[in-house]
């Protein structure tokens, strides 16, 4: 079976201070990811991990190069087109959870589907499924302040999956979690990856994530220094 390309980045660069002393946050990066990959993007602070993730997710624009998501060149989309594309194709999980504090867990997840104009019946069915998958069926009506960090991050995963995205970008998703919560979260994401073929790309310093990844890409000074398949994955 032919691999289905999800992310294809060519010659991508992001330059800060181009008119004075240019700093290449991302420097001529080529990156290709297929459907179903479970990949960790690693490197020291300042190596360009989060910048590259933001470029792939359409949260920032490259100064040069092209990024194709499911064969759509997002670098050529207008701002409004990019907003719509992100909503329907990309899931995001952030280090700081980014849940809306006045909304319940359910409402935080449902909001994405409301923006997609999905019917109430279909939203209800999808929400039930998602909260079962992240093992929080009993916490749907809790507000973020009533949840632990690990529980909030699992709600964030449910929200990322609400739109049925082609892939999920996770920026340091375990950084604020204890060992048990991080392990639980990784178990859930690995299960979704295996059973639903959801592609995950992590930006991380966390060895716990790196050990679970099936591909590890190392960035140094904005460039890909290595791209390996760990020997502990079969």
What is the full DSSP assignment across 146-191?
Answer: GS-HHHHHHHHHHHHHTT--SEEEEESTTTT--HHHHHHHHHHHHH
Helices 179-196 + 149-161 axis angle, to 10: 20
- In the predicted model, what is the mean pLDDT of residues 173-195? 90
Q: Quick one: pLDDT at residue 234?
A: 41
CATH superfamily of 36-62+76-228: P-loop containing nucleotide triphosphate hydrolases (3.40.50.300)
Q: Quick one: pLDDT at residue 119?
A: 94
Percent of the chain at pLDDT above 90? 81
The model's confidence at residue 146, banded by pLDDT at 50, 70 and 90, is very high
Q: Quick one: pLDDT at residue 95?
A: 82
- In the predicted model, what is the mean pLDDT of residues 90-106? 92
Tell me which H or E stretch contains 41.
strand 38-42
> pLDDT tens across 106-128, in order?
999 999 999 999 999 999 999 99
- Residue 60 has φ and ψ, to the nearest 5°, of -145, 160
Q: How far apart, in whole angstroms, are the C-alpha atoms of residue 56 and residue 168?
A: 11
Single out the residue of 34, 36, 31, 23 nearest to residue 53, CA to CA.
Answer: 31
- In the predicted model, what is the mean pLDDT of residues 130-134? 93
Collapsing DSSP to helix, strand or coil, 216 comes out as strand
The model's confidence at residue 230, banded by pLDDT at 50, 70 and 90, is low
Q: How far apart, in whole angstroms, are the C-alpha atoms of residue 68 and residue 47?
A: 22
Q: Quick one: pLDDT at residue 166?
A: 83
Collapsing DSSP to helix, strand or coil, 7 comes out as strand
Percent of the chain at pLDDT above 70? 97
Tokens standing for 192?
């979704």
User: Is the pLDDT confidence value at 231 over 60?
Assistant: no
Stated pTM of the model: 0.89
Mean pLDDT of the chain: 92
Helices 149-161 + 105-115 axis angle, to 10: 20
To the nearest 10°, the Cα dihedral for 73, 78, 82, 84?
Answer: -120
Collapsing DSSP to helix, strand or coil, 201 comes out as strand
User: Is the pLDDT confidence value at 2 over 70?
Assistant: no
- Residue 37 has φ and ψ, to the nearest 5°, of -75, 155
User: Is the pLDDT confidence value at 59 over 90?
Assistant: yes
Query: Of how many residues is the chain composed?
Result: 234
User: Is the pLDDT confidence value at 174 over 60?
Assistant: yes
Q: Quick one: pLDDT at residue 233?
A: 46
């Amino acid at each position: 079976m032919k691999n289905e390309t999800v992310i294809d980045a060519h010659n991508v660069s992001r330059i800060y201070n181009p008119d004075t002393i240019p700093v290449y946050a991302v420097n001529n990066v080529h990156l290709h990811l297929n459907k179903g990959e479970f990949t960790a993007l690693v490197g020291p602070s300042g190596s360009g991990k989060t910048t590259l993730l933001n470029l792939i997710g359409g949260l920032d624009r490259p100064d040069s190069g092209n990024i194709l998501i499911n064969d759509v060149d997002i670098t050529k989309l207008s701002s409004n087109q990019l907003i719509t594309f992100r909503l329907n194709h990309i899931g995001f999980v952030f280090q700081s959870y980014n849940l809306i504090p006045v909304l319940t867990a359910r409402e935080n997840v449902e909001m994405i589907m409301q923006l997609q104009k999905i019917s109430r019946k279909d939203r209800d069915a999808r929400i039930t499924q998602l909260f079962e998958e992240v093992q929080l069926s009993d916490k749907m009506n809790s507000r973020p302040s009533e949840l632990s960090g690990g529980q909030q991050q699992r709600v964030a995963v449910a929200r990322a999956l609400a739109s049925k995205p082609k892939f999920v970008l996770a920026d340091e998703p375990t950084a604020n979690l204890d060992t048990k919560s991080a392990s639980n979260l990784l178990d859930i994401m690995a299960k979704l990856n295996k059973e639903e073929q959801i592609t995950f790309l992590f930006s991380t310093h966390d060895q716990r994530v790196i050990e679970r990844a099936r591909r590890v890409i190392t960035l140094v000074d904005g460039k890909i220094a290595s791209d390996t398949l760990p020997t502990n994955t079969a």
